[in-house]
A and B are shown apart, each in its own frame.
Chain A
């Protein structure tokens, strides 16, 4: 099939950037979206133009590196699908496709479709861990953890840290991302001891990094390629209240 792409091109952080139009010809429905872009890049190179840069690595929906807004939707808007797992069969011949980077104050554009997501790491560094040492740890079965609790923790832990929740949110909030880690560790016996400090420190970092607040649009859950539930935001709020009130 033949498509027309409108791709965000920005040479660097200081450049204003603009959409540019490129044809994508002879695209196979079996290609992934990124393979389609590879193909377009090969053509750009052959015609002496500068290829489009975009973040990607695993190409199987787990590393969280790929990050594109397609037709206004983070990862293209297909249910529980990262852009690297989006296939061209969900487009049709003649389609016009708009491709932009994640848009958020906390994610400055580095070049073309690549943004700087260091702020997400900073939030984790503020408390997204259990402060255990390497070694000197009791047996893994010393503290049984009921299956429902383990499953709940795993549901939260599936977050791939891509930032789609931020890109999808009208306030550019990173609440879903933060809450997933807070909730995972808050329900586990290992994580309980530091729960109060963790939720405070992580939410403080969230604000300091320039993310917006959550006003319950729930676009984050809709954008999340792993389907992380907004129930974790409710959990974060409860944990936060517990931490500041008591």
Chain B
């Protein structure tokens, strides 16, 4: 099937304004009759729940943490983009739009990206009004820095904790609505099923993570803002609880999953120290503004202390390969380059999976004091984890899975192919194409939550009668029974391997075969291994305890079982996409000097997969991408 993204037509700079005018509205006195469920209270969900509650809808919001303030948005360090052009350095909505399309390697929808760039400025205003303490200059104006390969300074930040401050802003708006009674908050409540009635999303089924009770909630619309899925790699920069579960339950009920193979590997993470490792810690990308990446030129030098390797025996590989961008080359390029050094057996540190990020030159140039002022907290964090002082000895870094550009397919209104099911933030696939630029995810989450969904959901709700289906409907009972059956099944296997062992095994396959560089043979190998692991999981997993209690093993088992199904569709997508673009690098499709080769003639489309059951071939639906406002070009950072 050819999918329709329902993008408005006409001059791009008018599309969003015109669309807002064309959409139906819900009469203010009717709003409270509509119940909207918002799953997830990160930047996207928190902003959405607060804004919809304030508009007068009857909102119920859910998160798996013990407080809505703890969503993984909290961990974002670097900053948030907006086209304010405060520094007067040539930024504009058009430039932010263009950079995002180009950064995404021409695999995103133009109109969605335009809208994002357009509302980016409102986001900054909104957050300032909430009391978000962005960095300021001495005159009291908002400060900007350049970030992640952008040639203008458009990134707003709050020390190294931008995500935290933005999330606390959204959390404060949400708290205000909870107090006002427009939003009912359900913490420690995990969505484990989507309820669909006659093809329309009408509710969710959740597990109360304290009592284990399985309960359904009905709504006239369901918004999923449940974050990304890179924990499919086991080790990633995501929080331990991040999972594909909510999105995957929707996929099991017919929602299409778009571009799952587009995942971002972040170049500057602290390398793994051993098998005990449970997660990887990101070091902000801003570190590359002053740090220089290098690896020893000779294998024999890898075990030497870095200070004992003379200048001429160091390979500053990014500066060598990309003279004009150097250490600021985009994430996918920097990550692959680090991997190349290590594959060439010139890596450093435990397991030889690491390269150096060196501040000696910068310290010489601007002094240790300035470096401390810029990155003090990051150096401190590095020292806590590695016990090494990065002022004296170069940091060791290695790429790690970080962000998922793919996600549930949505149209311009953020509605999936299931009417009534909206998807926001990292959970959808919409604006980042095949690669996301730094500081653009926070922007997208808040754009979706504050400024897009409040309009587009009205366009949908105005076409339905509120409360026609409630949890009395048999579909809810059926959903609960299904969840209960799944829980019982997991608990009754009583096998020999722990849930973590399976997750680690899956992660290893995904990282090695479907990670930074993918080939037909590695992908085929993964397609053989994943079902094997999944089959063994269902025969041999040991989930301790019972369903009717706080049971972290059971929570985790549910998430891993979903990853085991999802991973296969992910790999199929990677295999089918016979090109290299953004975060998706197929070794067969590269130039002689190792650069990615896109195939616009055959692959300028969104691949949306319809799940048909575990082990069955999913069906591919395509949404062709048209570019009327930018010229398709080879993404070069040389």
Contacts and interface: CB of A to CB of B under 8 A. Distances in A.
Interface of A: 11-12, 28, 30-32, 34-35, 38-39, 42, 45-46, 50-51, 53, 55-65, 81, 85, 87, 89, 110-111, 114, 116-118, 120-121, 124-126, 128-135, 137-141, 143-147, 150-151, 153-154, 157-158, 160-161, 184-185, 188, 190-191
B179 interface: yes
A39 B276 contact: yes
B128 A124 contact: no
Contact of A132 (B129, B161, B179, B545): B129
A60 B75 contact: yes
Contact of B131 (A42, A121, A139, A184): A184
Interface in B82-116: 84, 86
Contact of B161 (A46, A111, A158): A158
B141 A144 contact: yes
Pick the 8 closest A-B CB pairs, nearest first.
A144-B140, A129-B172, A153-B133, A154-B133, A30-B273, A140-B128, A134-B51, A132-B129
Contacts of B133: 150-151, 153-154, 157, 184, 188
Nearest to A57: B239
A180 to B, nearest CB: 11
Contact of A141 (B127, B138, B141, B240): B141
A177 to B, nearest CB: 12
A124 to B, nearest CB: 5
A190 B137 contact: no
Contacts of A133: 54
B75 A58 contact: yes
Contacts of B129: 130, 132, 137-138, 190
Q: Which of A38, A89, A120, A154 has the largest count of B CB atoms less than 10 A from its CB? A: A154
A134 B136 contact: no
A134 B66 contact: no
A87 B278 CA distance: 13
Given A28-B274, A45-B544, A131-B176, A147 B138 contact: yes
A150 B65 contact: no
B130 interface: yes
B122 to A, nearest CB: 7
B447 to A, nearest CB: 12
Interface of B: 47, 50-51, 54, 65-70, 72, 74-75, 84, 86, 122, 124-131, 133-142, 158-159, 161, 164-165, 168, 171-173, 175-176, 178-179, 185, 187, 210, 239-241, 273-274, 276-279, 281-282, 381, 384-385, 387, 450-451, 454, 498, 500-501, 542, 544-545, 549-553
B75 A110 contact: no
Given A60-B281, A87-B384, A130-B172, 20 more contacts: A12-B549, A31-B276, A51-B544, A51-B553, A53-B552, A57-B70, A58-B74, A118-B187, A124-B172, A125-B176, A125-B178, A125-B179, A130-B131, A139-B125, A140-B128, A140-B134, A141-B86, A145-B140, A150-B134, A150-B135
B179 A126 contact: yes
Contact of A38 (B165, B187, B276): B276
A220 B340 CA distance: 48
Contacts of A39: 276
Contacts of A89: 387
Contact of B125 (A45, A50, A137): A137
Contacts of A124: 69, 171-172, 175
B125 A35 contact: no
B54 A134 contact: yes
A125 B451 CA distance: 23
A117 B67 contact: yes
Given A42-B498, A129-B130, A130-B172, A59 B125 contact: no
B276 A141 contact: no
A161 B67 contact: yes
Contacts of A190: 128-131
Contacts of B75: 58, 60, 62-63
B128 A64 contact: no
A145 B75 CA distance: 26
Given A35-B276, A125-B179, A185 B550 contact: no
A135 B381 contact: no
21 contacts: A35-B278, A50-B544, A50-B545, A57-B65, A57-B70, A57-B72, A57-B241, A58-B239, A60-B75, A63-B70, A81-B384, A87-B387, A116-B66, A118-B187, A124-B69, A129-B131, A134-B47, A134-B50, A141-B86, A150-B135, A150-B140
